[in-house]
Amino acid sequence: MIKVKGALLSMRLTALSIQAIFAAACGVLACATVAHGQPLPVTQIAGPGAPSQTIFPTNPSSLVQLGAFIMGGDAGGGWRQFVPVPPGTGIADGAIAIATAGNTQFGPIANVGGPNPSATLNCAPFCNVGQVTQPDAFGNVFLTAYDKSGGLLHLTVPGVYRVLFPNGLIQLAPTKGTGGDAPQAVAFNPVDGKVYYGGHNPNIRRITNPLDCCVGSTQVVETVGGLSGGQQSLGFALAGHDLYISGTTALNRVLNVAACVGNKNGCGNATVIADKLQGQAHSGLAADPAGNLYYPVANTLMRYNTITGAITAITAASFVFCATTSNLVTFDPAGNLYFGDGACGQAAGRIWRINAAELATLR
Domains by residue range for the chain, with CATH: 17-359 (2.120.10.30)
- The mean per-residue pLDDT over the stretch 5-29 comes to 35
Position 109 pLDDT exceeds 60? no
Position 89 pLDDT exceeds 90? no
Provide the pLDDT for residue 325. 63
Of 28-32, 266-270, 283-287, 325-329, give the lowest mean pLDDT range: 28-32
Position 83 pLDDT exceeds 60? yes
CA distance readout (Å), 25 to 156, 246, 252, 298, 323:
43, 19, 14, 26, 29
User: Over 253-318, what HEC string results?
Assistant: EECCHHHCCCCHHHCCCCEEECCCCCCCCCCCCEECCCCEEEEEECCEEEEEECCCCCEEECCCCC
Of residues 122 and 43, more confidence is placed in: 43
Q: What share of the chain is helix, strand, coil (3-state, %, to 5)?
A: 10, 35, 55
Of residues 211 and 218, more confidence is placed in: 211
Provide the pLDDT for residue 108. 38
Q: Are strands 95-98 and 233-239 parallel, antiparallel or unpaired?
A: unpaired
Q: Are strands 337-341 and 350-354 parallel, antiparallel or unpaired?
A: antiparallel
Task: Give the amino acid at 35.
Answer: A
Provide the pLDDT for residue 2. 34
Highest mean pLDDT among 65-69, 127-131, 259-263, 341-345: 259-263
Confidence label for 246 from pLDDT (cuts 50, 70 and 90): very high
- The mean per-residue pLDDT over the stretch 34-42 comes to 73
Tell me what the pLDDT averaged over the chain comes to. 79
pLDDT tens digits, 285-334? 999 999 999 999 988 899 999 999 999 999 988 887 877 766 899 999 89
Q: Distance between CA atoms of 192 and 271, rounded to whole angstroms?
A: 22
- Can you give the pTM of this predicted structure? 0.84
